[in-house]
Structure 1
Amino acid sequence: MDWDKLRIFHAVADAGSLTHAGDALHLSQSAVSRQIRALEEGLNATLFHRHARGLILTEQGELLFDATKAMNHRLEAAVARIRDSKEEVFGELRVTTTTAFGSMWLAPRLPKLYESYPDLRIDLMLEERVLDLPMREADVAIRMKEPSQADLIRKRLMDVHMRLYATPSYLEANGTPETLEDLSKFRLICQNTSAAQVSAGAALVRELLTYDVGSLLTVNNYFGVLQSVLSDLGIGVLPDYITQDFPQLTRVLPEVESKDIPVYLAYPEELRASKRIEAFRDFVTSELAAQRRSMAS
């Protein structure tokens, strides 16, 4: 297989245009077109549907694009490992975690990481979907359960609990519940049990909804729940790691909490020697240790 033709095919499939791919590769449109035709002839397959608005991959093209994406990720990982030096931390680091943890805990702390490593470029991917680390969809992950994928190095960072919080102003205006039955006098803010979330959080919400809740507001992520609570809308079901950054929140019904939610940091075995991974792992570990000390004092 001609690697150069595959490289050109990957650029065209990614851009959806011969012209844009040519610009990225510093080749003329005609040169790109010739290479694609030659690749199609060699494979005896049509890789693109040609439309006036651009190119669309055929089924055979999709199969080849999946393969070139995997190859590209492997090459990027190899290049990153080669470039990582003992003295410097630089280059792109793709970090995936949940929307809640990434937006409410990790992102506010990233300035400290950039202060130490100004040449590091973070690509932060916040979603509930578990990305495939061995296939290099991301370099490192922080997940709310132990990763099940093979060939991963994993480190348990902490345990999280879902708890009930409200603002002092909301409690002053509406009173403070003393039992779960008292929720009939308050508005509960939580994720819908059908929304993507950790199972322990959904289980707590289902338990709370067995009581006669006075009013209900559901949001599809914890960041929205937090903003609603801060706006004095009600009592929210939130992860306990936010308490340091939002000390104005008051815990309600302190005997109520979810089961332990383990938090893991994981990355592919092949990136064991990466200085970028090491720097990020040490940074997260240090920040969590500082938070534990602050909460204990």
Structure 2
Amino acid sequence: MDWDKLRIFHAVADAGSLTHAGDSLHLSQSAVSRQIRGLEESLNTTLFHRHARGLILTEQGELLFDATRAMVKRLDTATARIRDSEEEVFGELRVTTTTGFGSLWLAPRLTKFYEKFPDLRIDLILEERVLDLPMREADVAIRLKEPSQADLIRKRLMSVRMRMYGSPDYLDRTGRLETIKDISKHRLICQNPSAPQVSAGASLVQEVLSHEVASLLTVNSYFGVLQAVINGLGIGVLPDYLVEDFPTLERVLPEIESQEVPVFLAFPEELRHSKRIAAFRDFVQEEIITHRRRLREQRPDEAGDQH
């Protein structure tokens, strides 16, 4: 099968338009149309339905698009491996992690990474959905649980616990909690229990909610929970890695916390020798060592269970 025709078919299927595909391929619309007709004739099938709003794949077209999509991802992986220099780090690195960890811990530290590797382009993908690394949805992931996908190299980075925090101003105004029963005088701020999140965090929230809470504010990310806590809306359930970057947060009821949540870095086996991956992995590990050291200096009583 003619690869040029497949390449053009993939661009058309991805764009849903002959014109847009032609623009991306630097070909005229008529040239793209001829290639698609030639491919359909060689396969003796129709790949697209022509519609007023554009092109829609037929069932046969969907099957071929699935195949070309997998081929493109494999080619992207091969290209990345070939371009990884033994001495230089450049190109694009797609990093995926949760919205909370990515926005609150990772993103603020990337300035140092760019200072060291200015030619590397990072695509930071923040979402709770677990992306498929072997299928090249991302190059490297930081996940708050051990990855279950096969063919991944994984490295445990540290452990996180969910704890309760408040702003000093809020606690001065409303009073500090002596026991969990005092939550009846406060607003609890947490991730929505039905939202995707680590099970340990959800369990802690359910435990606190089993007591009479005066008011409840749920947010779909820890970034939102943090903003509400900082602005004095109530007591928030937050990950303990925040205490270094937000030292004014005051821990509430220190005896109450979640189970330990492991944090893993993972990437596909086929990128084992990638210089981009190695540079990012080493950077994150160095930052975690620094993070632990600062925690020990700031709050020695809370740094002991950062593994």
TM (normalized to structure 1)? 0.98
Aligned counterpart, 2:302 = none
Distance 1:234 1:290 in 2: 30
Aligned residues: 297
Deviation at 1:202, TM superposition (A): 0.6
The answer to whether the Cα contact below 8 Å between 1:226 and 1:236 also exists between their aligned partners in 2 is: yes
Percent identity at matched positions? 76
Aligned counterpart, 1:157 = 157
Higher mean displacement: 74-83 or 268-277? 74-83
Deviation at 1:69, TM superposition (A): 1.5
Aligned counterpart, 1:138 = 138
Segments of 4+ moved more than 4 angstroms: none
Distance 2:60 2:11 in 1: 16
SS in 2 for 1:110: helix
The answer to whether the Cα contact below 8 Å between 1:166 and 1:251 also exists between their aligned partners in 2 is: yes
Deviation at 1:117, TM superposition (A): 0.4
Query: Would you say 1:219 and 2:211 are equivalent positions?
Result: no
Aligned counterpart, 2:81 = 81
Aligned counterpart, 1:54 = 54
Deviation at 1:171, TM superposition (A): 0.3
Letter in 1 for 2:282: D
Distance 1:252 1:77 in 2: 47
Query: Would you say 1:124 and 2:124 are equivalent positions?
Result: yes
Aligned counterpart, 2:94 = 94
Aligned counterpart, 1:6 = 6
Letter in 2 for 1:227: Q
Distance 2:163 2:41 in 1: 61
Distance 2:39 2:150 in 1: 35
Deviation at 1:48, TM superposition (A): 1.7
The answer to whether the Cα contact below 8 Å between 1:70 and 1:136 also exists between their aligned partners in 2 is: no
Deviation at 1:46, TM superposition (A): 2.2
SS in 2 for 1:237: strand
Distance 2:84 2:18 in 1: 34
Letter in 1 for 2:6: L
Distance 2:279 2:151 in 1: 21
Query: Would you say 1:168 and 2:153 are equivalent positions?
Result: no
Letter in 2 for 1:267: F
Distance 1:200 1:186 in 2: 22
Distance 1:56 1:290 in 2: 52
Question: Which sections of structure 2, spanning at least 5 residues, go unmatched?
Answer: 298-307
Aligned counterpart, 1:295 = 295
